[in-house]
Amino acid sequence: MDAWKRISCSFFLSIGSLWIGGVASTQAQGVSTIPTVETILTRMAQARAENRTHLRPYSVIRNYRLFGKEQRMTKAEVIADITFVPPDRKHYAIQQANGMGLGEKIVRQMLEHETDIVKDYGSTDLSPANYDFRFVREDELRGQRCYVLEMLPRRKDKTLLHGQIWVDANTYLLHRTEGEPAKAPSWWLRDSRIVLDYGDVSGMWLQTASESTANVRFVGPHTMVSRDVEYKISELAASAGPILPLPAAGSARGQ
């Protein structure tokens, strides 16, 4: 069991490494054709820098749920209060933990790693320093036209992903990231997959949800799902925009 705890935490804490500050809304002017990958990356970088100027202190209540191979019953649920003070200060407190103690252990390590990575976001940023990019297709996600780019890590690192990103074709906001770690967190883990979703939070573009799945040798698949529930910004409660609803208590996908 101790070995299982160690390998589980080593995978799920990598989600914290993939925290991305997001990109701010910019107007795409005169775009009638698909821009080059270089143009998309340039506009993403400009928007990312702009977004950082909009960051304000905030706190968020985040719900974490751990599911086993049956993908129906919640094995653990943890509620955390996370506070961010720009540009690089983040801390957390666990408000409630139910179910397996493993769930709280994983969440604590995820959040510890998240507070560390925000101090050095450049090491995991979606930039040419960390990735090569290829245009894949145009797509529609939640009613928004997007450019889908393949991201190819420039080094084998468990905090980088090999997968795809969905970039809004008009605003260059990052809507979604999907992929597998460029380096397996452990021999014990197979078929690792991470999905990150983003949304507007009172003018700030932030990661608001995540889902990670790994097939653990001899144990089976486990999934950790997180959802941001409630934000407080400048002492006032604010809506988190297009945040996905929490799944039903007995289901990993709201079934």
Determine the Cα–Cα distance for residues 35 and 38; give it in Å rounded to an integer: 8
Q: How far is CA 205 from CA 20, 23, 159, 202, in A?
A: 10, 6, 21, 8
Quick check: is 158 in a domain? yes
Q: How many domains does the chain have?
A: 1
Q: Which residue has the higher pLDDT, 185 or 228?
A: 228
Alpha helix segments (H runs only) across the chain: 2-12, 14-17, 37-54, 101-117
Q: What are phi and psi of 88, to 5 degrees?
A: -145, 25
pLDDT at 166: 97
Lowest mean pLDDT across 61-75, 84-98, 124-138, 182-196: 182-196
Quick check: is 9 in a domain? yes
Q: How far is CA 61 from CA 22, 232, 233, in A?
A: 19, 9, 12
Quick check: is 96 in a domain? no
Quick check: is 84 in a domain? no
Contact 202, 196 (CB under 8 A): no
65-105, pLDDT tens digit by residue?
999 877 678 999 999 999 999 988 899 999 999 998 878 98
**pTM for the full predicted model:** 0.77
Question: By C-alpha distance, which of 153, 211, 158 is closest to 185?
Answer: 158
DSSP state of 116: H
Question: By C-alpha distance, which of 224, 173, 178 is closest to 201?
Answer: 173
| Cβ within 8 Å of residue 93, ≥6 positions away | 80, 81
Lowest mean pLDDT across 5-14, 43-52, 121-130, 147-156: 5-14
pLDDT at 222: 84
Report how far apart the first and last C-alpha atoms of the chain are (Å, whole number): 30
Quick check: is 154 in a domain? yes
Dig out the tokens for 110 from the structure. Answer: 């995820």
Mean of all residue pLDDT scores within the chain: 80
Quick check: is 253 in a domain? no
DSSP state of 237: E
18-39, pLDDT tens digit by residue?
544 443 333 344 445 899 999 9
Size of the chain, expressed as the number of residues it contains: 255
Quick check: is 60 in a domain? no
Q: Which domain holds residue 127?
A: 2-24+34-54+120-238
DSSP state of 123: G
Quick check: is 87 in a domain? no
